[in-house]
Amino acid sequence: MLPLLDHLSGRYQSGQALAQRLGVSRTAVWKQALALRAQGYPVETQRGWGYRLAPGSPTPQALEALREGRFGAFYAYLGTVESTQEVLKGWALDGAEEGAVVLAERQLKGRGRRGRTWISGSGKSLTFSVLLRPTLPLSALALIPLVAGLALREAVGVGGLKWPNDLLAPDGRKLAGILLEAQVSGEEVAYVLLGVGLNVHQAPGLPPEAAALAEFVEVSRVEVLARFLSRLEARYAELHRNPQGFLLDYKALSCTLGRPVRVQTPQGEVRGVATDLSPDGSLVVEGQGQTCQIGAGDVELIGYAGGVP
Ligand code: BTN
């Protein structure tokens, strides 16, 4: 890793000052800045002012100053990776502790749910993965993405939860997605890779149906990350004590319940009104004289233009 990264923050520092602190020449500082940018870090330069990282960047120092619990205690702030899920999987197999977090400024193969790709931009998004080692029965595994969605909504303070775990902006566009990949052997969950992608600022290449948090509230990426890790830790602990304890809070922030939906499930399309969540986290849809419980699927909110019921 280039030593300059440890010395950069959200405020400008002159090349001269950085050169002195690093014990190198100003040209060497400039070369390291270019190399960091090529690696994907959001290094900004301004004539007469010097160098900084995009304000709010989630450096280890910035996160450490805000972090409260054990989630994020082991943290890697990376430039470019294929997918943070892949990096964290390697850590999981090497025995990393629960709560370890890998965040990258740029992903070359960011993965979304159902084989989709996830687009993000350096300095613009939060794209990271959290390692969990739940001691829950397998049947409760499906509750983890719901809990993570709720923690994310609590961390950002705006928007609604589209079942199971998308966070929609107040105008109905998508702000964030969550991807859960678990390694299960028999009845045991060896580890869970919880991937979160949140659009904080508008990034080039985001599709029109995507929104950015900064359109609705003033935000700092590292503050949102620290708040999320703290809310996730609390909600996850609650899940182990009382698996259904979070459901009331989740329902209150859902933008799916009470609305007409079209759901693509592995068994085919279901249409109706989403009326409830079951204790196991599945979505209850009533329509055409039938009640269906859907464990997995892609929900389309028909005629939805924002708002939480
Ligand atoms: C979705 O499809 O809504 C889920 C998107 C999840 C994207 C995140 S970004 C960090 C982590 N690494 C990945 O490759 N994907 C997840």
3-state helix, strand, coil in the chain (%, to 5): 30, 30, 40
User: Global pTM?
Assistant: 0.96
Percent share of the chain, pLDDT over 70: 99
The answer to whether 146 and 165 are in contact (CB under 8 A) is: yes
Ligand 1 contacts CB of residue 199 (under 6 A): no
Atom of ligand 1 nearest to the CA of 114: 2
**What is the average pLDDT across 268-280?**
95
Task: Check residue 308 and give its pLDDT.
Answer: 64
Instruction: Output the CA 195–ligand 1 centroid distance in Å.
Output: 5
Task: Check residue 267 and give its pLDDT.
Answer: 86
Task: Check residue 2 and give its pLDDT.
Answer: 86
Ligand 1 contacts CB of residue 112 (under 6 A): yes
Domains of the chain: 3-53 (1.10.10.10), 60-252 (3.30.930.10), 260-301 (2.30.30.100)
Tell me the pLDDT band of 169, cut-offs 50, 70 and 90: very high
Task: Check residue 309 and give its pLDDT.
Answer: 53
Rama region for 258: left / alpha / beta (φ>0; ψ in -120 to 50; rest): left
pLDDT in tens, 33-54: 999 999 999 999 999 999 999 9
pLDDT in tens, 79-135: 999 999 999 999 999 999 999 999 999 999 999 998 899 999 999 999 999 999 999
Ligand 1 contacts CB of residue 114 (under 6 A): no
Please tell me whether residue 291 adopts helix, strand or coil conformation. strand
